[in-house]
């Protein structure tokens, strides 16, 4: 995994589908409508603690080159996404590793090669500044 604070040229956002879901720490509360469908809505945030696990289900297998993870502000962000993994079926997982994301409100995280997956999950690392973090959006891109 590698990261940048700007979206590289030539990538298109994968359009949200109503079948997408997102959960935090296995809680059945689905954050997809807020963070995945309308990630530019600045009125909705997902509060998370250090060590919380995010799981997104894209409803079907997608070809993804980049994910974007946004926080309310860099100081309400996380410093790392740990144990990033993807899966086609929810049973067998491909490990991509950890990525440091400190100092910007949004990071574009590229896979070392295009990834086909339905599910993606990661564990939030330590806090960037304050003892809390607020996700404001999660987006997916391909070429």
- Specify the pLDDT at position 47: 76
* Cα 66 from Cα 108, distance rounded (Å): 6
Give the contacts of 27 (CB within 8 A, at least 6 positions apart).
Answer: none
Q: Evaluate whether 35 touches 23 at the Cβ level (below 8 Å).
A: no
The reported pLDDT for the residue numbered 40 is: 59
Q: What pLDDT score was predicted for residue 87? A: 98
8-36 residue pLDDT tens: 999 999 999 989 998 888 776 777 767 77
| CA 13 – CA 21 distance, rounded (Å) | 17
**What pLDDT shows up at residue 12?**
95
pTM value? Answer: 0.90
Q: Which pLDDT belongs to residue 106?
A: 92
The confidence score (pLDDT) of residue 97 equals: 95
- For residues 102 and 142, the answer to whether their CB atoms sit within 8 Å is no
Task: Report pLDDT digits (tens) over 61-113.
Answer: 999 999 999 998 888 899 999 999 999 999 999 999 999 998 889 999 999 99
127 vs 122: CA distance, rounded Å: 15
Q: Report how far residue 69's alpha carbon sits from residue 107's, in angstroms, rounded to the nearest whole number.
A: 6
List all residues 6 or more positions away from 50 whose beta carbon is below 8 Å from its beta carbon.
78, 124, 125, 126, 127, 133
pLDDT given for residue 90 in this prediction:
95
Q: What is the distance between the alpha carbons of residues 136 and 47, in angstroms, rounded to a whole number? A: 9
Query: Cα 41 to the chain's mean position, in Å?
Result: 16
Please check the confidence at residue 131 and state whether its pLDDT lies above 90.
no
């Amino acid at each position: 995994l590698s990261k940048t604070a700007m979206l590289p040229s030539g990538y298109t956002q994968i359009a949200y589908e109503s079948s997408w879901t997102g959960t935090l720490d296995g809680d059945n509360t689905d954050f997809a409508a807020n963070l995945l469908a309308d990630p530019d809505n600045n009125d909705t945030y997902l509060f998370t603690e250090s060590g919380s696990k995010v799981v997104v289900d894209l409803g079907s297998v997608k070809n993804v080159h980049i994910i974007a993870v946004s926080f309310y502000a860099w100081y309400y962000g996380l410093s790392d996404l740990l144990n990033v993994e993807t899966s086609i079926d929810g049973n067998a997982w491909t490990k991509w590793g950890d990525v440091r994301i400190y100092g910007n409100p949004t990071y574009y995280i590229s896979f070392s090669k295009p990834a086909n997956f339905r599910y993606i999950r990661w564990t939030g690392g330590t806090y960037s500044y304050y003892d809390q973090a607020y996700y404001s959006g999660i987006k997916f891109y391909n070429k």
